[in-house]
Structures are given as C-alpha cells and as structure tokens.
Chains A and B, each alone.
Chain A
C-alpha cells in the first residue's frame, strides 16, 4: 500500500451565501490519478483551489502527507511549494520569457542558483518538446504550447502532487491532444494527480478513480469503468447521458 498524499475531511466552502462545497471527503494515494467530473459549478475547481490554499476553507481539514495544512499557524507558502497547479487559462506571466516563467519558483522560492535553475528548466522544456521556445514570450506561443509551459512551470518545483484545473477547456480542439499526451506521460511516470476535466474519454483512459461531483458533494466515486459504464446514481447517469449527447464521450 502506498502512502497517502492528500486527505480531505468534511470540507465546506461558501462564497457569500452560495455554498459551493458541502462536505467533501477524499483521499488520494501516491501515484494515483483521480479525475473529478461533473457539471460546471459543481465545485471541481473550488475543491482544487482549496487543496493548495488559494481559497480559504470554512470547515473541515486538508492533510498533506498526514499534516493538517488548514491549521492557522501553517506557512501556506511552504505548503504550496509541494503542490503544483495548472489553470484553465494558463496564467503564464506575460512579461517574462518561457525560461523565466519556469525558473521563477525554483529561483525565488527554493533559492536554486540561476545557472542550475536554467539548466533544469531547459531539460524539462526539452522533455516536453519546448526546447526551442525557451527565449520566447508567452504571447508568441500557441495555446497548447502555453499550457505545456504552464505544466513545466509547475513541475519545476518538483511537486509531490499536481492539480490540473480543466487545463484543456480554453484550447482549440486540435490543440487538446498535445496537452493531454503530456498528462499521460506524467501519469506513466507515477505523478500523483487530481484532475478536474470535461474530457470524459481522457478521464476514462487515465484515471485510477473517477469522482462525480454534484452540487458540492462527491455523489459517486469508483474505477472509471464502473462510473462510465454502470453508474449507481441517477444524477451520474443523467450527466453522462448529456455528455454523450454532446458527443464528448
């Protein structure tokens, strides 16, 4: 049995009077890939943002490697070093070259000397077919390239957990595959990931476990074959029927 990377217990989160997460329990083990599916507004993104403390939580606990990170005296900057997140809209820094985007974290947070950070970043960029984009600025790259740079930027911090927040939703359809293949490669390399996605075929392929979120709760979870072929809950069936009708599965 591998070690538990993240454990979430009774997580609640509201924005004003809108309760987005209504008691989430979830545990993810090392090397596991968990996909979060569900309609827009079901709480997938908020859950990811709560895990790396980008959103303060209202109730419950989040444990990373057994340590409660929601205690008031926890250094959130230290917690975030170990958790990478990739956003739907890439969020690259437009005033920095690709190399500077990737080395910012290692240099300023981990205090890696510039030459060493550059060397490691170049190696990572090369691994994902971006070696020749090192000196480019983000607005000169395609969406797919930008998103791959964003993934490399997160990986440069050597995270023990990677959160992917609908990373293909802002991409033109023909650019989706290049980004998903990067994620497949990471999964094959044993990266622990929680992935919020609308790409059901991809989720079915890559996930060890799929969680269906509905109205701020995990309504149903299990191996992908079970969730996609024989869902137990009527709401899950309804959601999947709509996805199939839209041609996305």
Chain B
C-alpha cells in the first residue's frame, strides 16, 4: 500500500513536470486550462446543465418503464402474441441499429417540419422523445436478458399455483430479473446522460451548446473543460457504483449463492 502511494506520487510528479516544462505548455495552458476563464464559465455552464439533468431524468423514467414493457411483451409466449412479439423485436432491432444522432435529427427537424396540427415543435420535447426511443431499445434488451436468466422452473412453480402468464412475470420472474440487471441498467443510464449533449444539434440550449457558444466567442477551449468537470462529478461515482455492484454480484455467484 505504502509503496503504491509513494510510487504513484513520484510517477505523476515526473509526468506533470515533463508536461509543464515543455515549450508548447504555455499555449496549451492558455487555450485549455485557463484558470480565470474556467471559473468564469463554470457557473454559466452549470446553469445550462440543469437542462441536461431535466432531459436525462425525464427520459430515464420513461426508459425504465417502457423498456420493461417492451421486454415483457417480447417474453409472452403463445401464438396469439406473435404480432406483438414481432413488433417488439422490430423496434428493438431498428433503434439499436441506428446512430442516435440520426434519430435525433429525423425527429427533431423532420417531424416538426411537417407542420402537422397538434404536433409540438418544441425541440426539448423531441429531444426527450428521441433519447427515450433509442435508450428504451437498449434497456429492453437488458431487461429481456434478465428475464431469460431466471430459470423456467420459477415460472412453472408460479403457473402451477394458477397464476396467469402475466401474473407469473409480475410477481415471480420480473422482480428477480430486475435485481440481476441493476448494474447493466446503470451503465445505460450513464450512456443516456452523456448522449443528452447530442440534442444540442436540434436547438436545445443545454450545457454543451452553451460551452460551444463560449468557445467560439473567445477562441478558448476551457469552457469544454468546465463541462467535462461537471460531467465527471456526476458519472464517475455512478461508474464506480456500477463496477462495485458487478464485482459484488460476481463474488456472490462464485460463492454459490443466488
């Protein structure tokens, strides 16, 4: 432990000295690490980041609900449900197979341009819709993997008590499946948070757009550094939590517990 700490301090000190003593460092510092610029724009960008938070919180709630619905529809067995299964499969395949930015452009620019009565033109609305559609497709697959990982004997035990297929999923299979997929769900949640910057392209003024405006006004990249700092404050703890949950699950699995 002590050796690791000492060697880390020495290593990073050498790297820092090497970087800052190079002849181009003043240039890099001016354009990327300008202290006064950083502290001037941090509150502005943090203020705009509230929009990103709204975007991912609203989208995440929708994604968690709709993703489960799509996964459950896909797990219904029996020929009666075939068209529903087909629809769910087609949706998940198509939206996982397309770049997010493409869907954001088509929905954010294309649909309002049709000028249909009653269809909102607000870019924030279409941003939520696009992100929800893309991430519901991913999350439905996560849920489905969880549902399929529950041994069929659990559903058989539930059905043998007289529970319907939907009741067996609701009370027996899905509650166990959700526990297993919390780490991959958190991973997709982090992905969704990062992808909220993409909707800046359809005119939502959020943190990335704000940083972009400042960068172009002052020819200085420090505002992007400010946004990066804000992002890491949010995503790093989540990433660590996900890794912790994954390794805990693996330990439990190796210990032979359920």
Contacts and interface: CB of A to CB of B under 8 A. Distances in A.
Contacts of B28: none
B153 A108 contact: no
B172 interface: yes
Interface string B145-163: 0000000011011111111
Interface in B229-243: none
- Interface majority SS (helix, strand, loop, mixed), chain B: helix
Interface string A34-52: 0000000000000000001
Interface string B167-178: 100011001100
B162 A87 contact: no
Contact of B154 (A84, A93, A108): A93
Interface residues of B, number: 19
B163 A109 contact: yes
B163 A77 contact: yes
Nearest to B173: A93
Contacts of A52: 160
Interface string A82-121: 0111010101111100000000110011100000000000
Nearest to B258: A94
B257 interface: yes
Contact of B157 (A78, A91, A109): A91
Nearest to B161: A105
A91 B161 contact: no
Nearest to A137: B258
A105 B167 CA distance: 10
A95 B164 contact: no
Most chain-A Cβ atoms within 10 A of its Cβ — which of B153, B157, B164, B172? B157
B163 A108 contact: yes
Contact of A54 (B154, B160, B164, B258): B160
A153 interface: yes
A95 B176 CA distance: 7
Most chain-B Cβ atoms within 10 A of its Cβ — which of A54, A78, A91? A91
A136 interface: no
Interface residues of A, number: 25
Given A54-B156, A91-B153, A105 B163 contact: yes
A80 B156 contact: no
B235 to A, nearest CB: 30
A139 B163 CA distance: 23
B149 to A, nearest CB: 13
A8 B40 CA distance: 83
Nearest to A85: B160
Given A89-B153, A95-B175, A81 B162 contact: yes
Given A108-B171, A139-B258, A91 B159 contact: no
A95 B179 contact: yes
Contacts of A154: 160-161
Interface of A: 52, 54, 77-78, 80-81, 83-85, 87, 89, 91-95, 104-105, 108-110, 139, 153-154, 157
Interface of B: 153-154, 156-164, 167, 171-172, 175-176, 179, 257-258
Given A92-B157, A105-B161, 17 more contacts: A77-B163, A80-B159, A80-B162, A87-B153, A87-B157, A91-B154, A91-B156, A91-B157, A93-B158, A93-B172, A94-B258, A104-B172, A105-B162, A109-B161, A109-B163, A154-B160, A157-B162
